[in-house]
Amino acid sequence: MLNVDMSTSHSCCPVMVPFEDVLFQVRKALQVGPSLVHKLLKELHEANVFSTQYYLSLFKHGEAGKQSLCEMIFNDEEDLARKLSLPIWQKWDISQGILDSAFSKEEDLDQFTDVIDAEAQDIVSDPAFELLPDSVILEYLDSILSGAIEDLLDPDFLDKDYLNFPAGDTDTTCTLTPEEDPFTEKRQISKRKGETTLNKPSHHKRNKKETVCAESPSNERMATIMSEGGPAFQIIQTLCPLTPPLISTVVQTGPTYVLVSPQSVSPGTQILPLSPTDGTVAPPELTTSVLPIGSLSDSVSKSLPSVSVGTLSPTEVSNRQPQKNTESSPLKTERKVRPEAPKCVMDYVCHAKTHMNNSCCVMRGGLRMESHYIEMHLVQRKLLIKSGKNANKCLEKELVVLSDSERKQGKLDRSQLFHNTASRPKQSVALLGKAGVGKTTFIQRLCLDWASGSLPQFQFIFLLNCKILDLTQSSYSLKSLLLDLSMSPRCKDSDAVFKHILSSPDEVLIIFDSFDDIKDFEGLLQSPAKSPTGNKYTIKQLFSGLFQKEILSGCTLLIATRPKDVLNQVLRKMDSLLELCCFSPEDIELYTSKYFRDMSIRENALTKIKTQRYIYSLCSNPLLCWITCYLLEHQDGCCDTMPSTLTDLYQRVTSKHLQLANQENSILDNKNRQNIPQLCKMAWECFKNQNTHANLISSTELVDYGLKSGILTSYETLAHQENHFADLFTQNLLGAVHLVQSKQVNEKMLIAHGGVHQKKRKIQGESQDVMQRFVTGLLLQKTPTDGISILESSMDLQAKMKAVEAHLENLKPNELVPARLLELFHCVYETNSGKFAKLLLKNLPQNLSFCGVQLCPSDVYVICHLLQHAIALKRSFSINLQDTCIPISGLKELVRLQCIKSFWAHTADTIGLWEDLHQSNDELNLKSAIEKFTLNPFKATQGYHIENLPLLVQIHREKKLPMSEFVSALDEGVPALMQLQRVEFELGVQNGPELFPKLIEVLPSLQSLEHLDLEKNKIGDSGAEKLAGALHFLASLRLLNLSQNCIGDAGVEKLSQALVSVPSLQSLSLYGNLIADTGAEHLATVLPDIKLLQDLDIKFNKFTDIGAKKLSAALKKCTGMKSLELWNDFIPYGVFEHLHHQDSRIRSL
């Protein structure tokens, strides 16, 4: 019989649960099967429910009349259940969660076996097989070993005494000893050069009901076949081959053996589950179910992860992997050695490089790559993975926003595009960039690098333009995709080349340019191509097969796309996300100097560009920089003024294109004028279809006119020539002209497609944004254009003008989300009208927010331009620029505005702004920038929100910037810290514990703090102790929310002592923690000393009626308190009702 170790019960308080209920749960647990029972008992031992001595006693054989665990399960299950129930009942608060976890695993396994049973219901088992004795199974194992090992191993290996099987002491271990083997004479291994005897374990006859069960880990033995200079074969008998329901159907229940090959296997790091401090654990409400709504937050977490095991992102996991076993699993840095490629393959590669060198050397406008290309930098981006029904929407909402200083520090050049990190190779790379930023040009430059031998890791590069791929046909193969549909030349011996490609996938780079043209992403990754030789696939299926490594596994993929126009499901799985940077001011000057070779023309062009600051800001986009230079090149005189809006710029450039096309033809002016409306209609159709393909143009003359004017561009395919609009801006301008002029488009349709909308609509990306600006600019701005007018002067546009005006007047800026508010700013700017600017400024909310919208230089200019007139209307604003990537130069312009009374930007960028102003000796604006900076209310949802706060505190205390001496503007410190009243620390259970110490560093400087919300950050007792050390600095604190933070009695004891030093505290929430009776008593002791406390929320902790009565007694001394919420499942309901009747301030929910 088992002796119950009573030492397990002394450290825990009694729990309010009947013993019979616990006994029922233990009986149920013993039904899950021996192997799962063993795992369950092990977890109970690790949670200190069983002592070590008691746990080991369960696995001993019948000494002094005791039974083993297996025998007790099958012979006297009831007696075992009662003996196990006592220590489990004594620590039921810990044991309950472990038992629930075991039951959930059993349910999952039952579902699996039910499926197996259903599939095998028609299979009739062989009665003879069910009755096979164990000796037959062992002989069968011997035959396998005698045949397989002798055939696989070198004959010399069997000559030596390598077979070493240590004896064991359990009947479940495959220990082979000749003394106990009754079949030794029958199991001689046939010899080739020598003799070797293979021994087997002694086999005890078992009861028919007996099943192999798991023994104590300390008694495990394995048979081994040793070899010189290497690891050994291992023969392992499985603990429990299959679960009882499956065994009872068709599978024999005898012992099963596994022969483990001598491979070098890196042992995984074993993470042992740890109990929280003092053995306290969260009650079931916090671990297995959803907490009722009762805390100060909007939502409550479903579970709290283990203290010792953090959830790592894929990047963090991969970064840690190389540290586990670097000797046995080194990184694969050497490429596989392959046979030399056939001559026909090498000839094709040389031909492809020559072809690529010729086709990629020219940029748009006929400019040569070697003379006009500007080196573009890359920035590594990361995704913030979200969950929920809207997780697959616009990608820009998911990208982690970098500060301007972080972007500058993290710049990469082209040569680093495919550099592998220490964690894993980059086999899939996404190149992100807005329209016109130069993604296609960058890819051309990359192909030229390959052609010149600068990318030696790739023997093949296949460039695919998604604009011209037929996405509807299902007759493609991988071979046709690479050799026929790519920009590569025709291949004479395609079979040999494709065969070599399949043998060397890691030497292949496949580029999908204009990936955003694959608009229909539905099911993109659901039906991947499986066979590299199949020929019935669509382009999407082939991409999915490549992306998911179903075909040509090991190749490298590069996709180029706009961040607003691509599905998250694809980019989430990319190994690397890289964003192409815009032109810097230095790049703009360099490009202009390369475009204009003549010194005098170059200086005049630069002067004009810099004079018109909006155009200068647009030139940060390489396409718009080329457009501007093209316009300056073809201006008739030096006195021509520069355009002031995007609409004006593109009207002039398009008119100039059309004018030059007419001069080349020198005839058909009237006919060419008729071509313009047809091109506009075609552009509108493409906009509706979300593509650029001018496929409805049937007139050859119209196509020629579009090509000669630069409005269209052509792409050669195997079957035909395709014509597309040259760029998004040109297409949308012509589409806007159609909306404005067409009689088939009424005012309602015009507003639907060309106006900023209050309500959410389906995202159409940058195309929709540009269309809105052009429609507003064409109708409402009065600036004349040079050359041929795009708009027909005879058209009556008054009705549509009034409709757009009324739409702008009726918009409510205070109800717009930041992205739509920015578009409204742009549309108002395009009107070039003071009337609409004043109307906008009049209706703007006092608190402007562009938070989460990535601001480019042109965005910053438009905001500054419109806000500078607000001071005349006696309007002032507070502007939120957090998570906007605003450049420091733009931040400087905004902060200088008199109407900006306060601003909130990334802390690192703000400090960078101060240093920039200090270095330029602009002390007046420096002082203004320090005074205007605010942090209130401070809401930290990402790590970078709080990482720079300690540096800000250092500046506040030392009254100087990091790289300078004393700064007079800081003689009173940083006002933003002294005026901060509200802090919401929402980093969650993953990042909260790690970054909480940084917040503790900041708290002593927040003398005006009134609201501190730390809910659901898992700070634990250690975090509570750190917070207690800082509370006495917070003399103004009124609300403290510590809900769901795994705080136990030790943490509450420290907090209770510190709460007395917070004289203004009115509301305290400790909802959903681990506070037991001891912690409740600590709170009750200090409750009367917190004079101004009105509300205490301590629901869903783990104190019993003892702690509840202590708190109720203390409440009687607190005449100023309004409510005490203390309900939890450990308090008998009758006791709670009695306390509520005694004092109505005691509430449940």
Average pLDDT, the chain: 77
User: Region 426-433: what's the mean pLDDT?
Assistant: 91
Which residues lie across from 1138 on neighbouring strands?
none
Alpha carbon distance 767, 419 (integer Å)? 33
Contact present, 586 and 436 (Cβ < 8 Å): no
Question: Which of the two residues, 783 and 372, has the higher pLDDT score?
Answer: 372
The whole-number pLDDT of residue 170 equals 38
Backbone dihedral angles phi then psi of residue 112, each to the nearest 5 degrees: -65, -45
> Collapsing DSSP states into helix, strand and coil, what is residue 1025?
helix
Who's near 1022: CB < 8 A, 6+ residues apart?
Answer: 1051
Unique residue bearing structure tokens 């749960």: 25
What stretches of 933-1013 show up as alpha helix (H) in DSSP? 943-947, 949-958, 975-978, 988-1002
Distance CA 524, CA 540 (A): 6
Distances (CA, A) of 368 to 189, 587, 589, 653, 721: 77, 17, 18, 21, 23
Residues of the chain above pLDDT 70, percent? 70
According to DSSP, the β-strands at 508-513 and 712-716 are unpaired
Residue 637's pLDDT is what? Answer: 60
303-312 average pLDDT score: 35
Separation CA 144–CA 233 (nearest Å): 14
Which range, of 406-420, 504-518, 734-748, averages the lowest pLDDT? 406-420
Task: Give which of 842, 847, 857 is closest to 818, Cα–Cα.
Answer: 847
The pLDDT-based confidence of 895 (bands split at 50, 70, 90) is very high
Beta bridge partners of 73: none
Which CA distances in Å does 343 have to 288, 461, 647?
A: 65, 18, 56
Q: What is the mean pLDDT of residues 280-287?
A: 38
Place of tokens 């507070």: 878
Higher pLDDT, 337 or 436: 436
pLDDT confidence tier of residue 916, bands split at 50, 70 and 90: very high
Q: How far is CA 167 from the centre of its chain?
A: 52
Alpha carbons 381 and 398: distance in angstroms, whole number = 10
Measure the N-to-C terminal CA separation of the chain; round to a whole number of Å.
49
Q: Determine the average pLDDT of the residues in 650-660.
A: 87
Start-end of H helices in 815-948? 818-831, 834-843, 857-867, 888-896, 907-919, 923-932, 943-947
- What per-residue confidence (pLDDT) applies to 219? 39
Q: Are 605 and 592 within 8 A, CB to CB?
A: yes
Q: What is the pLDDT of residue 634?
A: 87
Q: Is the pLDDT of residue 630 over 70?
A: yes
pLDDT grade, residue 27 (50/70/90)? confident
Q: How confident is the model at residue 897 (pLDDT cuts 50, 70, 90)?
A: very high
pLDDT by residue (tens digit) across 37-50?
777 888 888 888 88
| CA-only gyration radius of the chain, Å | 38
Q: Cα separation of 800 and 777, whole Å?
A: 12
CA–CA separation, 631 vs 898, rounded Å? 35
Please tell me the distance from the alpha carbon of residue 965 to that of residue 225, in angstroms, as a whole number: 72
Q: What is the pLDDT confidence band of residue 290, given thresholds at 50, 70 and 90?
A: very low
User: Which residues have a Cβ under 8 Å from the Cβ of 334 and sit 6 or more positions away?
Assistant: none
Tokens representing 625 are: 């920089």
CA 87 to chain centre: 44
pLDDT tens-digit series, residues 950-996: 999 999 999 999 888 888 899 989 999 999 999 999 998 888 999 99
- Token look-up 């880990």 returns 217
DSSP state of 668: -
Q: Using CA atoms, how far apart are residues 709 and 680, in angstroms rounded to an integer?
A: 14
SS3 content of the chain, % helix, strand, coil (to 5): 45, 10, 45
More confident residue, 894 or 156: 894
Q: 285-294, 599-608, 810-819 — which is least confidently predicted?
A: 285-294
The answer to whether the CB of 786 falls within 8 A of the CB of 655 is: yes
Where does the pLDDT of residue 54 fall: very low under 50, low under 70, confident under 90, or very high at 90 and above?
confident
CA separation for the pair 545, 529 (Å, rounded): 5
- Residue 513: per-residue pLDDT: 94
Q: Which residue has the tokens 């402007």?
A: 848
The yes-or-no verdict on residue 344 having pLDDT over 90 is yes
Average pLDDT over residues 377-383: 87
Mean pLDDT (whole number) for 822-845? 94
More confident residue, 831 or 783: 831
How many other C-beta atoms lie within 10 A of the C-beta of residue 292?
15
Say whether pLDDT at 1045 is over 60. yes
| Residue tagged 């009107």 (tokens) | 831
Mean per-residue pLDDT, 580-584: 93
- Cα–Cα distances in Å, from 1002 out to 995, 997, 1005? 12, 9, 6
pLDDT at residue 718, rounded to an integer: 67
What's the residue count for the chain?
A: 1149
For residue 223, what pLDDT band results from cuts at 50, 70 and 90?
very low
* CA 377 – CA 398 distance, rounded (Å): 22
Contacts of 502 (CB under 8 A, 6+ apart): 532, 552
pLDDT tops 70 at residue 189: no
State residue 890's pLDDT score. 94
Any idea what the Cα angle at residue 1017 is, between residues 1015 and 1018, rounded to 5°?
Answer: 115
Q: What angle do CA 445, 447, 452 make, to 5 degrees?
A: 95
Check pLDDT > 50 for residue 377: yes
On the question of pLDDT at 493 being above 60, the answer is yes
Q: In the prediction, which pLDDT does 1021 show?
A: 95
Confidence of residue 331 (pLDDT cuts 50, 70, 90): very low
How far apart (Å, rounded) are the C-alpha atoms in residues 1038 and 1056?
16
As separate numbers, helices (DSSP H) first and strands (DSSP E) second, the chain gives 47, 24
What's the pLDDT score for residue 150?
A: 44
Query: CA–CA separation, 1025 vs 672, rounded Å?
Result: 80
Our CA dihedral for 568, 572, 578, 583, rounded to 10 degrees, sits at: 20
pLDDT at 58 over 80: no
| Residue scoring higher pLDDT (1064 or 327) | 1064
What is the Cβ-side half-sphere exposure of residue 926, based on CA atoms within 13 angstroms? 20
With b for 16 or more beta-carbon neighbours within 10 A and e for fewer, the 329-356 pattern comes to eeeeeeeeeeeebeebbeebbeebbebb
DSSP label of 982: E
Beta strands in 692-804 (DSSP E): 712-716, 721-725
CA pair distance 256, 259, nearest whole angstrom: 10
Share of the chain above pLDDT 90, in %: 44
Q: Which residue blocks in 612-645 are alpha helix, DSSP H?
A: 613-618, 622-633
- Please provide residue 429's backbone torsions phi and psi, each rounded to the nearest 5 degrees: -130, 135
Token pair for 78:
């009831």
Task: Give the C-alpha separation, 1015 to 997, whole Å.
Answer: 15
Q: How many other C-beta atoms lie within 10 A of the C-beta of residue 828?
A: 27
Ordered strands of the 982-985 beta sheet: 938-940, 982-985, 1011-1013, 1039-1041, 1067-1069, 1095-1097, 1123-1125, 1146-1147
Least confident range from 329-333, 468-472, 601-605, 718-722: namely 329-333
Q: Return the pLDDT at 214.
A: 36
